[in-house]
Structure 1
């Protein structure tokens, strides 16, 4: 069964071209002109991938991308008239999987959609097949608990919602408390060897985890990466 691609773009001409090429490839498509409408779709029937314009009326693409990343790792490809390096870096740091500058070749967009979805499928398979570090039960560090088999995160016995990549990063850190992991190693182990983006994606993932779990001692090892410091349970 082919995936559903949501095209969030307010230019009817670009909408028409992108939809035609994706449908020719066999994908189902949904057309949306605003990020607000896209957010409603996300809540009701999420697509398998977003093709997201940056310059949208109301909520812009960057904000929408950031909001999605708080809840999901689902693929996002940004398309934008902004071709400055800082804009591309910002898009990747916010968690997009690819960035394409207008004007672009529709065939190139289709190729990138195929590649990102294939990588997403491999990532999901890795996550499902990952074996727990300890067969006897969950992993603990102070008041933080990871239930590996159930893929749940608990802080003081209260569940905290995290995405698949956030869980995978926490699992790596908690499996070897106090060990410093380089950004490159974390990038490879969480995103996979075929990920082409910047290691700044690791920084963004850590930032999101710190926001959700502000009392978990994920420490920055300057110029290198991150580690989870050992912590006792609070009284």
Structure 2
């Protein structure tokens, strides 16, 4: 029987930053935390390494030579739902929203605490079922089955959503948000609770809660017939969001 640390490959993280000092620090810290780490210094090299190594998560600086982080994220999202954490010296809400709109899973302004970055990596990898160690992690929804939302079919085993047999591409974070909101249809889920459940940290500033709003908007854009007049995910002003049943909306265990 293989030893525990050989039972499952360790998560591989691609670090992309044009600052050698940042790459060195992250390489050292993340390797000590048990990850396999590869590093790139520009956007073109990042894409080459991504295709060759197929990492489990990407830590991506926004301001890069040759191809900036936003362009890299856009290219990755065209072909993959790999989790992406943006790093940037640009800490405005508009920059953060721009990054999240492209499909990033989180956004950490520079200068940042390596410890905080490690915590966010752990949270995201736990959500997608990977970690630095070998232990299996439970399903984000705490169960298995099929969720039917009107003409949508949500397969919680495969983490896939289809409409009329056509798959709707969701990132790991978008799918986890869908599961959280529809776990108890009709319950108002505060934005702070969504942030802590999905991103693993409490809100420290207004921009943190804006992350939730951006992701709800992205999810509506993919699932709602008319995102400006949502029928599935309702806004409860000043509090958070609530899911609404359309047709059959129940989690059928084992279905």
- Within the alignment, does 1:127 sit opposite 2:127 as a pair? no
Counterpart contact for 1:8–1:35, Cα < 8 Å: yes
User: What is the rounded CA distance, in whole Å, between the counterparts of 2:72 and 2:13 in structure 1?
Assistant: 16
Q: How many residues align?
A: 220
Aligned residue runs from structure 1 range 6-155, under 5 A: 6-11=14-19, 13-14=20-21, 17-18=24-25, 21-22=28-29, 25=32, 27-65=35-73, 68=76, 71-72=80-81, 74-80=83-89, 82=90, 84-86=91-93, 89-90=96-97, 93=100, 95=104, 97=106, 99-102=108-111, 108-109=113-114, 111-123=115-127, 124=129, 125-127=137-139, 130-132=142-144, 138-155=146-163
* TM-fit CA distance, 1:65: 4.2
| Alpha-carbon shift at residue 55 of structure 1 (Å) | 1.4
Task: Please say if residues 15 and 31 of structure 1, whose CA atoms lie closer than 8 Å, have aligned partners that are also in contact.
Answer: no
Q: CA deviation at 1:169?
A: 2.0
Structure 1 outlier segments of 4+, above 6 Å: none
| Number of the residue aligned with 1:222 | 237
Secondary structure of the structure 2 residue equivalent to 1:30 = strand
2: CA distance, partners of 1:19 / 1:172? 31
Q: CA RMSD in A?
A: 3.6
Contact 2:44 2:67 in 1 (8 A): yes
Question: Does structure 1 retain, via aligned residues, the 8 Å contact 2:141–2:183?
Answer: no
Unaligned runs of 5+ in 1: none
TM-score, length of structure 2 as denominator length: 0.66
CA contact (8 A) 1:35 1:56 kept: yes
Q: Specify the alignment match of 1:205 in structure 2.
A: 215
Deviations 1:74-105 (A, max 9, x none): 2525143x4x5547744785545452525x7x
Which one is further off, 86-95 or 48-57? 86-95
> Where in structure 2 are there 5+ consecutive unaligned residues?
1-8, 130-136, 226-230, 249-255
Partner SS for 1:172: helix
Q: Which moved more, 1:86-95 or 1:53-62?
A: 86-95
